Structure 1
Amino acid sequence: MTEAVITAASGKIVTIGITPTEPSSAFGYIRACTPLGLAHAPNALAVESFVEKPDSETAQKYLDSGDYTWNAGMFVAPVSLMLQHLEKNEPELYAGVMKIAKAWDTPERESIMDQTWGTLPKTAIDYAVAEPAAAAGDVAMVPGSFSWDDVGDFDAVARLNQEKHGEGLTILGDEDNVINQGCSGIVVANSNRKISVIGLEDIVVVDTPDALLVAPRERAQAVKDTVAELKDRGLADLL
């Protein structure tokens, strides 16, 4: 992190790039291959672009090239530079954030938050700041070789939790309610019902009192499509 701080102090928005261990299509990538030439941050590279989650074949090409790291969404940066790009690219969001910041240490903080927060545009920092700043040459990457995972779906949850007694199935919740007959994957048992899974590989089962999700682990990220459909049907209370 020392190199990230030094690079940020030189006037860059610094993102931490995670060294890939496999050609994953579950993560976004950062393309950075030109050294910045900073004496005390020799590993700092200029970011050329941020890349959305690729298909498996493209991910393998990224891994083979050595020019790409996983985008962990971690930043070390001068606040003034972040705000400069936010104001330029998302002026409405910037104005709302500054309104909240101005009221933060005043008695009006709660009322300003209530009035403003829900009206702000829902724009990810990647789109509002990181990508346009990279295009302007203001983003650098410092590699991180530490263990990391993006806990963004149930597949990631399974990777980060040990299988039950080496049986191939990760169980979160009441293990006594799960009857496993030759299955692998993850079961989240949170409904007090008995769950029997038979002869299925790499499954995701999430059982709650008011909803049930069943999917293959490789499609775990597609749950966002279900979320969108539930909202369209007026069933957001299930989320």
Structure 2
Amino acid sequence: MDKIYTLIMAGGSGTRFWPRSKTAKPKQYLNIFGEQSLLQDTIERFATFTKKENIYIVSSATQAKVLEEQTPMLPKENLIYEPVGRNTLPCIGLAAMYAEREDPDGVMVVSPSDHLITNTALFEDTVLAAAKIANERDGIVTLGITPTYPATGYGYVQTAEDITGNEKIKQFKVERFVEKPDEATAADYLKQGGFYWNSGLFVFKVSVFLKAVEEFAPELYADLRKIQADLGNPSYPETLDSIYRAVESISVDYGIMEHAKNIYLVEGNFDWNDLGSWESVYQTDKKDENGNAGMGEAIFLDAKNSYVSTDDGLVAVVGLDDVIVVRDGNTTLVCKRDNAEDIKKIVEQLKANNKSEYL
């Protein structure tokens, strides 16, 4: 294959990571582990096998300042700003229109910006195996994570024919994509076997993907072509704004993956965490002898299995177990670990009450 392109989707708001994740600097721009942000770690992960001039990022126009601050290694013209979020299919389609001008048959890898992946050598091998299928079979390939428990927070992919052959990494035709199940259904999937977690990582030829958009989302395809026709012109920002705001908000799973027949899966056995909440950060982080973990200066006294994140000063947790405490500027969060998914409701309440100073 001549070229590999990478698209990193970085427009999310990260509401379950409030109060550190805020409108001006959402989760993907935070250094939750180490000195680099999750976005910078993602760029570094792909830069080992993708030229930096072939790495694109799609983000929100409201995040332009922080995105440019964190990506001096990338050409500015590779930073694509959506005037408004419209889910993953329009986002990927927009970036594909950019890449198509360079090489219609180039292979594009699509990745979220906020995953934690540690064994990067195996990750690279897995992506390149997917790229080979995309190039040789004109397939749209997803990286499936081997499930370790009956998770209800992920979509699942059911595999069909095994096409591994002499390859080292398992590869399959895909039978179907299924929505997030309840726990009993997820447990049944694990018992049956042949089901994988949907990682949100996709690989395809640009031309193959755009053909699928034309077939399964023709109105979106027509709109994207109108946007592409104005690329490079002074009127482009106005064209993008007026057309993109009107397109349907739809996921790539629902819009393409559930309908297309040329779908494949490559088994992903690299260490993977989608970092969906503070609880998932706690689960991933190193813990002391009492099961406590965190970032910043903290004291745990008669406390177990708790997590602290503080940007400044000291946080002390006394006599409490299984709590999350996050301090950021003028905001502090205290919650039970079991309620980590409910943090987004705080953001909703702050918006409803026009408390923008805390967002």
TM-score category (smaller protein): 0.7 to 0.9
Q: Distance in 1 between matches of 2:128 and 2:253?
A: 23
Contact 1:3 1:40 in 2 (8 A): no
Aligned counterpart, 1:53: 180
Shift of 1:73: 0.7
Equivalents in 2 of 1:215, 1:89: separation in Å? 43
- State yes or no: 1:5 paired with 2:125: no
**Counterpart contact for 2:290–2:305, Cα < 8 Å:** yes
Q: How is 1:77-88 mapped onto 2 (pairs within 5 angstroms)?
A: 77-88=204-215
Q: Given the superposition, is the C-alpha separation of residues 171 and 112 from structure 1 closer, same or farther in structure 2, using an over 3 Å criterion?
A: same
Output the TM-score relative to the length of structure 1: 0.78
Query: How many residues get paired?
Result: 230
Residue number in structure 1 paired with 2:310: 189
Match of 2:278 in 1: 154
Shift of 1:162: 1.7
Distance 1:224 1:131 in 2: 28
Deviation at 1:148, TM superposition (A): 0.8
Max radius of gyration: which structure? 1
* Cα deviation, residue 57, structure 1: 3.1
- Could you tell me which amino acid in structure 2 is paired with residue 184 of structure 1? N
Distance in 1 between residues matched to 2:332 and 2:259, nearest whole Å: 40
> Which one-letter code corresponds to 2:129 in the other structure?
E
User: How far has the Cα of 1:88 moved from its partner?
Assistant: 4.2
The residue number in structure 2 matching 1:170 is 293
Deviation at 1:13? 0.8
Change (3 A) 1:54 1:81: same
CA RMSD of aligned residues (A): 3.0
Moved more, 107-116 or 18-27: 107-116
Residue 29 (structure 1) aligns with: 156
2-side partners of 1:201 and 1:226: how far apart? 22
Give 1:6 shift: 3.1
CA distance in 1, matches of 2:185, 2:339: 18
Q: Would you say 1:223 and 2:347 are equivalent positions?
A: no
How far apart are the structure 1 equivalents of 2:278 and 2:307? 8
Q: Deviations over 1:137-186 (max 9, x none)?
A: 231111111111112211222233222x44422222x31xx332213232
Corresponding letter in the other structure for 2:291: G
Judged with a 3 Å threshold, the aligned counterparts in structure 2 of structure 1 residues 191 and 167 are, in CA distance, closer, same or farther, namely: same
Which residue number corresponds to residue 62 of structure 1?
189
Q: TM-score, normalised by structure 2?
A: 0.55
Give the letter for the 1:170 counterpart. A
Whole-angstrom distance in 1 between the partners of 2:306 and 2:213? 41
Give unmatched runs, 5+ long, in structure 2.
1-126
In the alignment, which residue of structure 1 is the partner of 2:254?
A: 127
Take 1:115 and 1:237, find their aligned partners in 2: how far apart are those partners? Answer: 30
- After superposition, give the CA deviation of every residue in 1:26-48 in whole Å (9 maximum; x if it has no partner): 3322111333x475668332222
